[in-house]
A and B are shown apart, each in its own frame.
Chain A
Amino acid sequence: MTAGPAAPTPLLELEDVVVEYPGKGRRAKPFRVLHGVSLSIAPGETLGLVGESGSGKTTLGRAVLGLAPVTGGSIRYAGKPVSGLGKRERRALSKDVQVVFQDPFTSLNPAMTVMDILTEPMLVTGVSRTDAERRVQTLLDQVYLPHDAAQRLPREFSGGQRQRIAIARALCRDPKLIVCDEPVSALDLSTQARVLDLFIEIQEATGVAYLFVTHDLSVVRHISHRVAVLYRGDIVETGHAAQVTEHPEHAYTKRLLLAAPVPDPQRQAQRRAERLRLARERDAS
């Protein structure tokens, strides 16, 4: 954990966070997904969290949202501990901490119109319906969806547009932090680039911070100020995006980098040779 504190007062701070799921059966040992993870996010910053499936990256995001059982360490938001909060305090925090999920097809209730989906989080906090509906128009502008989108159902939209709706829902109460759980991995390449640019544009306009969970190194490089690499429940490397994605220190990050194929036949052939050489060395030692 080299990069040190990101800013004097971090927005979000994780210290030795342990997440365990109870094992099956009475005496079974709990299954430990995160083994003491520490990281911090400054206001307005994007921290990219990379790792392969099973590394615990999604669980880390869910722990921050209060959706995963934190059994050790502490999560602090704006200096105040938020792990193990009661339901009421947690709800109060929902103004500041929001989420965009991976799958834009199941993260929107198919039976509700876009207007209902977007006004719901505002109405629970006592915003009047007319105010909420006015705000929806601004939100739709912000994510570049047409105004008549509000009257339609999620299934009438493409994957990229649905993800825009999910982003609008996350934005509707002006959060300080959005946990983005693989928000572009279900999208087509060209859509992916546009949605990422939307994320960056919104960040520059509103100063929101992102915890951006992904398995794709090129995505994380594009959007993150800093990158943390998660491997089997431990953070093995943290640093600036350029540093981690160009000069990785940890062997796993190197392997991860070389494994991602690049769209250039000659360079890819070189990388493949390099990767196979590394693999042979590892086998030999």
Chain B
Amino acid sequence: MTVPETAAIPKRDRLLRRTLRDPVAVACLVILALVILASLAAPLLTDYAPDHSVLSDTLAPVSGAHPLGGDGVGRDVLSRLLYGGRTSLLGGTLAALVAFLVGGPLGLVSGFYRGWFDAAAGWIINVIMAVPAIIVMLVVMAALSQDLNVAMIVLGVIMAPMVFRLIRASVVSVREELYVDAARVSGLGDPRIMRRHILPVVVAPSVIQATQLFAVAIGIQAGLSFLGLGKASQASWGAMLNDGFTNVYTEPTLLVWPGLAMAVTILAASLLGNAVRDALGTTETRVVRRRRPGPRKTAAGGPSPSDRLLTVEGLRISYPKPGRSGGSDGSDGDKIVVDGVSLTVERGEVLGLVGESGSGKSQTAFAVLGLLPNEAEVTADQMSFTGKELLGVSQAALNALRGRGIGYVPQEPMSNLDPCFRIGSQLVEPMRKHLGISRSEARTKALELLARVGIPDPERVFKSYPHQVSGGMAQRVLIAGAVSCDPHLLIADEPTTALDVTVQAEVLDLMRSLQQEREMGMILVTHDFGVVADICDRVAVMQTGRIVETAPVEKIFASPEHAYTRMLLDSTLEGGPARAALGAPLKEVTS
């Protein structure tokens, strides 16, 4: 059966290649390989047995016969270092292996099936975690075996909960993915789903965890043998440290070699884990460039009318292409998402910004709000709000404008409320900052606002956390917040897309009445022509970063000029014929 490999290998292969592109990872791999090779080749590199003691060589100086000298009881330091490497590497590997053998399958099955097995495994794991690791290992070594490897196996069991938790968590999250449901509906059995869809996701975090466990185990093993545990015949870096410690005044270099070996090995393993994690986390290298202000032109159109709230001229937003530092393909290598957009909003006017995904409508709205990510490059001939420049001004100036001048209603109400704070405090804080009013004044105003946006029990909602209210309620709260500092312009980015139609109608009613009552200007970003028809005065249609048509709302619907607008309007299903009943005879039966 070659099927599972074809699925998993490309991904792991990519991961390996990405890891190898990191110089730190390569260095770590080389170091680990050298340590492993040196330990394996110990008999070739030294003539002395690690536990062969020659009294005359006690604390022998560095010489041809003893390249690193002799230790406190006349054993060759180099030999002990090389053979000790075997103990450490074997111990670390054993511990990590046992941890995965115990924790891995348990975590996999627990996460996949949940239920009673998960509950039972969780209990056992909790018990293991409650056990003090060092004491257990001391007891095991005292009572059962002096062998360090036995202690490492016990350590593996003690560390298994870490693996269990990690694997269970990743399985639980991938199990919720729709593609796992789809596989189940396709008739795939559980073992196959695990192998094809679950395991590949678990592999990467496991690799990282394994390197960390390996490093931790080497440290703990050295600790044990430093305390004098373990068989005397078993050379180990910890035992060397112990010996060096007793002779620290006469021969301090004895501490250096085992310490150095341990530090290098543990560091290499941990850094390798980090490198793998980095390779996982970033799919592409990112170039981050600061935003730069556009070429400032003096407004050519003469003094703008006093009712003009927002003027945008020649707005251009581009992002550096991922994985390329620019300039490699002749052009400047940037992805242009908004290309020369000009629009205006008057006081008391609702401008609809319509387009399909990728048309740049949200990017345009975010540019006005100054909320684009740092790598975005924004330029414009002019972008001003009531005569004040928006582009290239300081964050502080922008913050002042955003609070009192421009309000924002987002698309996803839930993700725009902080789950850690009560709704009341999220409304009160901005008002105190921007309006400079006291806490109790702000509270009164917030309660008034909540009542104004149609929340039946403002006191209760004021004290609630975001998760305690419905999506429609949360959107009302956000609208209340957006208008709380009496902005002149409201920017709403698909404010009703996440809501049910009945709730959408109510929220649109609310936005319209607030807008009329306060004579606010409004930019409504949407893809829904029904919403446009409901609330907008003027419409700008966007296609691939450009505005193709701007017209009053009646004209857009009655006589659209641009072919793209016509295509969009034609694809609305609204008003089309209903599908006929299935088959003629059926019609007779029911009519």
Interface residues of A (CB under 8 A from B): 3-4, 6-7, 42, 44-46, 52-53, 65-67, 87, 91-92, 94-95, 97-99, 101-103, 106-109, 111-113, 116, 120-121, 123-125, 159, 166, 169, 173, 188-193, 196, 200, 215-219, 221-226, 240-242, 245-246, 255-256, 258-268, 272, 275-276
Contact of B590 among A3, A66, A98, A222 (CB under 8 A): A3
Q: Known interface pairs A94-B186, A193-B571, A224-B579. Does A259 touch B586 (Cβ–Cβ under 8 Å)?
A: no
Q: Known interface pairs A91-B189, A106-B179. Does A245 touch B197 (Cβ–Cβ under 8 Å)?
A: no
- How many Å from the CB of B200 to the closest CB on chain A? 6
Say yes or no: B582 contacts A45, CB within 8 Å.
Answer: yes
23 example contacts (A-B, Cβ-Cβ < 8 A) are as follows A3-B590, A42-B582, A46-B582, A92-B187, A94-B185, A103-B178, A108-B182, A109-B177, A109-B196, A111-B11, A112-B7, A112-B196, A124-B186, A124-B188, A124-B189, A166-B182, A189-B568, A196-B573, A216-B501, A246-B578, A258-B505, A261-B508, A261-B528
Chain A residues with CB below 8 A from B186, complex form: 94, 98, 120-121, 124, 169
In this complex, what residue of B is CB-closest to A217?
Answer: B501
Q: Apart from A124-B187, A224-B579, what 8 extra A-B contacts exist at CB < 8 Å? A: A94-B185, A98-B186, A99-B182, A109-B196, A189-B568, A219-B573, A240-B578, A268-B533
Tell me, in angstroms, the Cα distance from A97 to B187 when the chains sit together: 10
Chain A residues with CB below 8 A from B501, complex form: 52, 215-217, 256, 259-260
Tell me, in angstroms, the Cα distance from A65 to B178 when the chains sit together: 13
Say yes or no: B527 contacts A188, CB within 8 Å.
Answer: yes
Say yes or no: B572 contacts A218, CB within 8 Å.
Answer: yes
Chain B 431-451 per-residue mask, 1 if CB under 8 angstroms from chain A, else 0: 000000000000000000000
Determine whether B102 belongs to the interface, using a CB cutoff of 8 Å to chain A.
Answer: no
Interface centre among A173, A240, A255 (most CB of B within 10 A): A240
- How many Å from the CB of A19 to the closest CB on chain B? 16
Say yes or no: A222 contacts B533, CB within 8 Å.
Answer: no
Determine whether B302 belongs to the interface, using a CB cutoff of 8 Å to chain A.
Answer: no
Number of A-B contacts (CB under 8 A): 199
Say yes or no: A260 contacts B586, CB within 8 Å.
Answer: no
Interface residues of B (CB under 8 A from A): 3, 6-8, 10-11, 177-179, 181-190, 192, 196-197, 200-201, 356-357, 471, 500-505, 508-509, 527-534, 553-554, 557, 567-569, 571-582, 586, 589-590
Query: Ordered nearest first, which 7 A-B pairs have the shortest CB separation?
Result: A261-B530, A94-B187, A263-B529, A121-B186, A52-B500, A242-B578, A107-B178
Chain A residues with CB below 8 A from B187, complex form: 91-92, 94-95, 121, 124-125, 173
Contact of A116 among B6, B509, B529, B530 (CB under 8 A): B6
- How many Å from the CB of B153 to the closest CB on chain A? 34
Contact of B505 among A223, A224, A259 (CB under 8 A): A259
Interface centre among A65, A87, A240, A263 (most CB of B within 10 A): A263
Say yes or no: B8 contacts A123, CB within 8 Å.
Answer: no
- How many Å from the CB of A150 to the closest CB on chain B? 13
Tell me, in angstroms, the Cα distance from A225 to B584 when the chains sit together: 12
Chain B residues with CB below 8 A from A94, complex form: 185-187
Say yes or no: B534 contacts A272, CB within 8 Å.
Answer: yes
Chain A residues with CB below 8 A from B8, complex form: 111
- How many Å from the CB of A184 to the closest CB on chain B? 10
Contact of A106 among B178, B184, B356, B531 (CB under 8 A): B178
In this complex, what residue of B is CB-closest to A55?
Answer: B500
Chain A residues with CB below 8 A from B575, complex form: 262-264
- How many Å from the CB of B3 to the closest CB on chain A? 6
Say yes or no: A263 contacts B3, CB within 8 Å.
Answer: no
Tell me, in angstroms, the Cα distance from A91 to B529 when the chains sit together: 43
Say yes or no: B576 contacts A218, CB within 8 Å.
Answer: yes
Contact of A240 among B178, B503, B531, B581 (CB under 8 A): B581
Say yes or no: B582 contacts A265, CB within 8 Å.
Answer: no
Say yes or no: B579 contacts A221, CB within 8 Å.
Answer: yes
Chain B residues with CB below 8 A from A97, complex form: 185
- How many Å from the CB of B115 to the closest CB on chain A? 11
Say yes or no: B192 contacts A124, CB within 8 Å.
Answer: yes
Chain A residues with CB below 8 A from B531, complex form: 261
Say yes or no: B178 contacts A101, CB within 8 Å.
Answer: yes
Q: Known interface pairs A188-B357, A276-B509. Does A222 touch B573 (Cβ–Cβ under 8 Å)?
A: yes
Say yes or no: B580 contacts A225, CB within 8 Å.
Answer: yes
Q: Known interface pairs A67-B184, A108-B179. Does A265 touch B553 (Cβ–Cβ under 8 Å)?
A: yes
Tell me, in angstroms, the Cα distance from A111 to B577 when the chains sit together: 41
Say yes or no: B529 contacts A256, CB within 8 Å.
Answer: no
Interface centre among B192, B505, B529 (most CB of A within 10 A): B505
Tell me, in angstroms, the Cα distance from A67 to B175 when the chains sit together: 13
Say yes or no: B579 contacts A263, CB within 8 Å.
Answer: no
- How many Å from the CB of B570 to the closest CB on chain A? 8
Tell me, in angstroms, the Cα distance from A260 to B554 when the chains sit together: 19
Say yes or no: A44 contacts B534, CB within 8 Å.
Answer: no
In this complex, what residue of A is CB-closest to B12?
Answer: A111
Tell me, in angstroms, the Cα distance from A6 to B188 when the chains sit together: 32
Say yes or no: B533 contacts A241, CB within 8 Å.
Answer: no
Contact of B185 among A65, A112, A259 (CB under 8 A): A65
In this complex, what residue of B is CB-closest to A276?
Answer: B509
Tell me, in angstroms, the Cα distance from A101 to B182 when the chains sit together: 8
- How many Å from the CB of A43 to the closest CB on chain B? 9
Interface centre among A102, A159, A222 (most CB of B within 10 A): A222
Say yes or no: A99 contacts B181, CB within 8 Å.
Answer: yes
